Structures are given as C-alpha cells and as structure tokens.
Amino acid sequence: MDEMPKTLVELRDVAKRYGGTEVLHGVNLALRDGEFMTVLGPSGSGKTTILRIIGGLIRPSGGAVFLDGVDISAMPINQRPFNTVFQDYALFPHMTVAANVGYGLTVRGVARAEIRKKVDEALHLVALDGFGTRYPAELSGGQQQRVALARAIICQPRLILLDEPLGALDAELRRQMQRFLKQIQREIRTTFLFITHDQEEAVTIADRICVMNRGGIEQIGSPREVYYRPANEYVARFFGDNNLIDATVADSGADGLRLASASGEFRARTSLAGIARGQAGKVLVRPEAIVLGDAAGGQNRIRVRIEDASFVGPVSQVRVRAVAKPDLALLVKLPSRAEGILLAPGSEMEASWSESECHFVPA
C-alpha cells in the first residue's frame, strides 16, 4: 500500500425503501480496485441489499452508484461488468457444468471453441478439471460452489459479488474454501465483495471489512482496525467478548488518553480523532490482552479476585472481579496448558494491560 489504490465502485448516499420501511439509509462506501472487501453484519442489517444494488438486481431508492467515477445507477444488470456468486449457487440445473460455466460467454456470442478453452481454464482454476460433462445435481455442495465461482469469473468481471457463498458448507470445508477464495482472488487480481454474517470468516478473508448494522455502516477498516480499534460500542461488541468499562476522558494529549472510571484511572493510546476532555464512553480491553500475576508490568492495573477458570480448547477463560469494586467483572483469555491453569478461585492478584492494548470508544 505504497500508493493509494484507485476507487472502483462507489456508493453515494444510497438508500433503499420497501413501502414504509427503510432497509438502507444513506450508505457511502468506496470499493478499492483489487481489494477483497467483506460486508459483515447480522441478518437484516442491509448487507445483501448493498450487494444487490451494486449488482443491479435492485434499484436504489435514493443516492447513486458509480463505477470508475461514472454513475451507473440506471445501467441494466446484464450490462454491468460485475458477476455474482449467489447464496445457494443458483446453478442452471438443466445445463452441464461446462454449459453453466460458459453461460456468460455463450450469451455474449463468443465462438464455441473459444468458450471451450476458457471453460477448461476456469474449471482448472477452481480445481474441477474433467467435471464439465456432469450436471449440478451430481456434484457436492463444495463442488457446486466452485462451479458458481468459475461461472462468475469467466467473463473477467471488474468485480465479483459473493452473497454468503459459504453459508451452506460445514466448518472444515468452509475454512478450505476461505483460503481457496483468497488464493483465487490474488491469482485473478479481481475485486471481491464478500457478504457474510460470520465475523471470524470476515476477519480471516478480507483486506477490509465493512461492518453494517440496521441499514447503515458502522465502520470500514482493515480486520485489525475493526478488531482492535472499533469505532463504536456496536463494533466493539460485535467482535467477541471485549471488556468494556464505563469511563470519561480526563485528559487527551499527543501521547494518549487519560480515562477516569469508577475503578480508577486508565491510560489508552488511540488514533481516533476528535476526542475531547469530558467525553463519555467505554474503555475497551480485549480478554487476551490482560495479563494476570503480580509480576506483570502494564500501565493499567487492577487488583482482582479469581472467580473461575474454564478450559475451552486453545484458550482458557478466566473470570475475575475487581477487589475494590466488585461490580466490575473482566474476562481474561490465556493460552491453555496441558497441566491446566494454576489459578485457584478466590485468590487475589494483579490484572494488568499495556496502554497500547487499551482503547477508548466514544458513546
């Protein structure tokens, strides 16, 4: 990222209403050329609506869609240089795999021999060599998924839209496909817009994540940004079990923030602009950023009592409570060890975390 990549598709104040209900209000989103963007949100957040508006399946009620700076809001779906991988693949059941994959070229009147060549290439790309004569019903879910992908990339679209494409697959296949998609995206150097409601998937796969909620965008940023530097409490809560502590800004300076809370003062580094003294919000610290033990040396420290510890696979979860202020509970995640975590419930110790692991989200 030496140089700012140019914007491919841009949504400006895009809104969508069905009858009296607004499912999308005033969305602004710029998609960079060549990036893998994930739109993440719970169902009903408007993420599929965004995809359908870009794809041309539905028209926005307000605002406009731009491609290379040109308004394409009125461009019919079949003329947009975008292709979609649908949620349940939407393969043509009466066509062979080869006919499915070659469909986009067939309707463009490309010569047969050319189509055959490109279909073979596309099938090779998705590792389905030799599957051309089969019918979709004869394939497994993962194979159908790859046919749908091959079908979408064959016309070399500027943008590939993926509508929760991995929803129907089991966990293992899902992880495989995530890696596979990412690999293909790098290979063909095409922009991907990937819709999902799974935050882990979004974080794994995306260059940038657009977090949506109730028809609006909460935050756009790299996985690390939305994970460690959520723009607001919604995003903070959406990504797992963050510890959130009520606080107000006591002082803000170039080296960070001083935050006053009922449990004492915390220090945080944050890049969020425009945070002023007296602003109310929450102190955020990720469970895995907290170190337990008197020897640990973070800038932020509280004395806590261990409530319980549980083993949940690679990490162990420890619940602790501030000694001085028992209504403050914190969740701590530690790497699991074979011998278990030697923390007796009821014992007291220091919980600490560094300034750089501490974040402030305005209310």
Partner 1 sequence: MSLRAGIDVAELDEGRRARSYRIATTALAYLIPGVFILLPLILFLVQSFYYVDHGKEVHELTLRNYVRFFNDAAFVPVFLRTCILCLAVAVIAVAFAYPVAYLLASIEGRRKYVFALAFVIPLMMSYIIKIYAIRAILGSNGFLNRILLALGIIDAPLTFLIFNLQAVALTLAILLLPFAILPIFIALERIPRNVLDASADLGASAWQTFRRVIWPLSLQGTVVAATFTFVLALGDFVTPQMVGGTSGMTFGRIIYSQFGFAFNWPFGAALSVVLLALVLVALAITGLVTRRHPS
Q: How far is the CB of 65 from partner 1 (least distance, A)?
A: 15
Q: What is the contact mask toward partner 1 in residues 68 to 87, using x (rule: CB under 8 A)? A: ---------xxx--xxx-xx
Q: What is the contact mask toward partner 1 in residues 147 to 166, using x (rule: CB under 8 A)? A: ----xx--x-----------
Q: Tell me which of 33, 35, 88, 225 binds partner 1, using CB under 8 A.
A: 88
Question: Given the complex with partner 1, which of 86 and 234 has the nearer CB atom?
Answer: 86
Contact between 112 and partner 1 by CB under 8 A: the answer reads: no
Contact between 92 and partner 1 by CB under 8 A: the answer reads: yes
Q: Tell me which of 93, 253, 326, 335 binds partner 1, using CB under 8 A.
A: 93
Question: Given the complex with partner 1, which of 148 and 320 has the nearer CB atom?
Answer: 148
Q: Tell me which of 129, 138, 241, 348 binds partner 1, using CB under 8 A.
A: 138
Q: How far is the CB of 89 from partner 1 (least distance, A)?
A: 9
HEC profile of the chain:
CCCCCCEEEEEEEEEEEECCEEEEEEEEEEEECCCEEEEECCCCCCHHHHHHHHHCCCCCCEEEEEECCEECCCCCHHHCCEEEECCCCCCCCCCCHHHHHHHHHHCCCCCHHHHHHHHHHHHHHCCCCCCCCCCHHHCCHHHHHHHHHHHHHCCCCCEEEEECCCCCCCHHHHHHHHHHHHHHHHHHCCEEEEEECCHHHHHHHCCEEEEEECCEEEEEECHHHHHHCCCCHHHHHHCCCCEEEEEEEEEEECCEEEEEECCEEEEECCCCCCCCCCCEEEEEECHHHCEECCCCCCCEEEEEEEEEEEEECCEEEEEEEECCCCCCEEEEEEECCCCCCCCCCCCEEEEEECHHHEEEEEC
CA dihedral of residues 168, 172, 177, 179 (deg, nearest 10): 150
Question: Given the complex with partner 1, which of 88 and 233 has the nearer CB atom?
Answer: 88
Q: How far is the CB of 68 from partner 1 (least distance, A)?
A: 19
Question: Given the complex with partner 1, which of 93 and 313 has the nearer CB atom?
Answer: 93
Question: Given the complex with partner 1, which of 128 and 304 has the nearer CB atom?
Answer: 128
Question: Given the complex with partner 1, which of 18 and 311 has the nearer CB atom?
Answer: 18
Question: Given the complex with partner 1, which of 151 and 282 has the nearer CB atom?
Answer: 151
Q: How far is the CB of 137 from partner 1 (least distance, A)?
A: 6
Contact between 18 and partner 1 by CB under 8 A: the answer reads: no
Q: How far is the CB of 169 from partner 1 (least distance, A)?
A: 18
C-alpha 300/C-alpha 265 separation (Å) is: 8
Q: How far is the CB of 11 from partner 1 (least distance, A)?
A: 18
Q: Tell me which of 7, 61, 73, 106 binds partner 1, using CB under 8 A.
A: 106
Q: Tell me which of 41, 104, 165, 298 binds partner 1, using CB under 8 A.
A: 104
DSSP lists the bridge partners of residue 248 as 260, 280
- Among positions 34-63, residues that touch partner 1 (CB under 8 A) are 55-57
User: In Å, how far are 244, 321, 336 from 354, measured between CA atoms?
Assistant: 15, 19, 22
Q: How far is the CB of 174 from partner 1 (least distance, A)?
A: 21
Stretch that binds partner 1, among 2-10, 91-99, 255-263, 284-292 (CB under 8 A): 91-99
Sheet of strand 191-196: strand arrangement? 82-85, 159-163, 191-196, 36-40, 208-213, 216-221
Instruction: Give the total of residues touching partner 1 (CB under 8 A).
Output: 29
DSSP lists the bridge partners of residue 257 as 252, 268
Binding site for partner 1 (CB under 8 A): 55-57, 77-79, 82-84, 86-88, 90-94, 103-104, 106-108, 135-138, 151-152, 155
